[in-house]
Amino acid sequence: MASRSVNKVILVGNLGRDAETKFTPSGAAVTRFSVATTRSWKDQQTNEWKEETNWTNVVVWRQENLANYLTKGKQVYVEGRLQTRSYDDKDGKKVYSTEVVADDVLLLGGRGEGSSGYEGTGAPRARAAAGGPRGGPSSGSASGDDDQFGGITDDDVPF
């Protein structure tokens, strides 16, 4: 029997900073942003509520206009995979960086400020190109799960 593995990440959190888009020498867009996720628990010894916030770096390939919508404080749904890479810093020391390579990014909340929760077609949705920097253009979902969005497909979204 073959061994199996799964590398899937789902985050729902708030943007810690405005997204930034840069371009590779070959012209592929790379959008980066960070997502804050917070968990709360009750300390059994002190009976007080505690809170812990985790910051996760996210990268999205080939979505040039996505940064226009991803601004600090907005709530987002991110689905993708973990990727760890390494590089040598200016002192020659090896540095490791782990980030989420997003396949799907969905703005939560409506068009109005302060809304919470998903409000159907009012929330922009972007599906990143499959496979990261070597993947081809996205063709949307083959499973038909876009029907829950009133027949809107990835081709209807301006980014």
Domain ranges across the chain: 9-41+50-149
Q: Are the C-beta atoms of 10 and 81 separated by less than 8 Å?
A: no
pLDDT tens digits along 16-74: 999 999 999 999 999 999 999 999 999 999 999 999 999 999 999 998 788 889 999 99
Angstrom distance (rounded) from CA 71 to CA 27: 23
Q: State the average pLDDT for the chain.
A: 77
Position 2 scores a pLDDT of 72
Angstrom distance (rounded) from CA 43 to CA 148: 40
Where does the pLDDT of residue 143 fall: very low under 50, low under 70, confident under 90, or very high at 90 and above? very low
pLDDT above 80: residue 103: yes
Angstrom distance (rounded) from CA 63 to CA 21: 8
- Report the 10 Å Cβ neighbour count for 13: 20
Where does the pLDDT of residue 153 fall: very low under 50, low under 70, confident under 90, or very high at 90 and above? low
Position 66 scores a pLDDT of 85
The architecture CATH gives domain 9-41+50-149 = Beta Barrel (2.40)
Where does the pLDDT of residue 109 fall: very low under 50, low under 70, confident under 90, or very high at 90 and above? confident
Position 9 scores a pLDDT of 96
- Report the 10 Å Cβ neighbour count for 28: 16
Q: What is the arithmetic mean of pLDDT over 95-114? A: 82
